[in-house]
Amino acid sequence: MKQYRAYCFDLDGTIYKGTEVIEAAAQTIYELQKRGIEPYYITNNASVNREDVENKLAKMGIVAKRERIYTTAVASALYCAEYHASSHIYLYGEEGLRKAFAEQNLRVVGPEEADVAVVGINRESTYESLSEVMNVIRNGATFIATNSDKIIPTATGFGVGNGSFIRLLAHATGIEPLYIGKPESTMLELVRESGGYAKDEMVMIGDNYDTDILCGIQYEIDTIHVAGGVHTQAQIQQREKQPTYFVENLTELL
């Protein structure tokens, strides 16, 4: 298999499942690090910031470099720092989203003052809170969605993902958001800029065709699908565009 400079790993279903590490993934990351290659971690999860992911991986025996972790909370904050640095930003989401925006010193405001609305997973959503963010968007705030995941893995199966709440808000307002998470290329572009990589030095590795693999394909970098997560190899072979490689187990990267 080709060797790369920037290995971009999805997290859930690729490196761990819930709180259980996937041993082959941990071993592969360790081996890459021994060769002097420090991986990147790219997750659509908007409820966590870099420190949260670093701590979670550390508990699994994976020593990740904090600045190489991109969650959609972090990427949304970095995006706003670049394009909406002087905006009044209304956040709809959880603690990780708030922490990521605080780290970029962005101006976070209440619903009346907002000219940007950033919407991430909020597992305490209510009719009232959804109506509030709907009105912020109706009143003209730029609508940014951390990610479009319809469902998310939970300890007992699946839960409603941020993308489903986004559809609700888009339907109610008639306005489509700008999406930050995979399959959009914002996070891969942040990686490329941070390391000064050429696209042929980068690879996106994940278990989900619709997010990880499509993200890499659309960004025109190589992709590796790993079995055992959201999609099987057989399901992906039905799709028009194929990943560069299929692996049963991440140690095949070595």
- Based on the shown chain and the rule CB under 5 A, indicate whether residue 94 belongs to the binding site for Mg ion: no
Stretch that binds Mg ion, among 32-40, 170-178, 202-210, 233-241 (CB under 5 A): 202-210
CB atoms within 10 A of CB 124: 6
Contact status: 13 vs Mg ion (CB under 5 A):
yes
Q: Is position 93 an interface residue for Mg ion (rule: CB under 5 A)?
A: no
Query: Do 149 and 161 touch, CB atoms closer than 8 A?
Result: yes
**Residue 47: strand, helix, or coil:** coil
Q: How far is the CB of 180 from Mg ion (least distance, A)?
A: 16
| Interface with Mg ion, residue 181, by CB under 5 A | no
Residue with tokens 């095949």: 252
Q: Is 150 helix (H, G, I), strand (E, B) or coil?
A: coil
By the rule CB under 5 A, 45 interacts with Mg ion = no
Give the start-end residues of each E strand in 72-130. Answer: 89-92, 116-119
Find the shortest distance in angstroms from Cβ 121 to Mg ion. 15
CB 49 within 8 A of CB 101: no
Please, which residues have CB within 8 angstroms of residue 70's CB and are 6 or more apart in sequence? 40, 41, 42, 43, 187, 190, 191
Q: Which is nearer to Mg ion, 54 or 212 (CB)?
A: 212
Q: Which residues in 207-236 contact Mg ion (CB under 5 A)?
A: 207-208
CB 216, min distance to Mg ion, A: 13
Q: How far is the CB of 214 from Mg ion (least distance, A)?
A: 13
Q: Determine if 10 is a binding residue for Mg ion (CB under 5 A).
A: yes
Q: Which is nearer to Mg ion, 13 or 96 (CB)?
A: 13
Q: Nearest 5°: phi and psi at 106?
A: -85, 155
How many angstroms separate the CA atoms of 87 and 116, rounded? 7
Per-residue tokens: 90: 């209304």
- Smallest distance, Å, CB 209 to Mg ion? 10
Binding residues (CB under 5 A) for Mg ion: these are 10, 12-13, 207-208
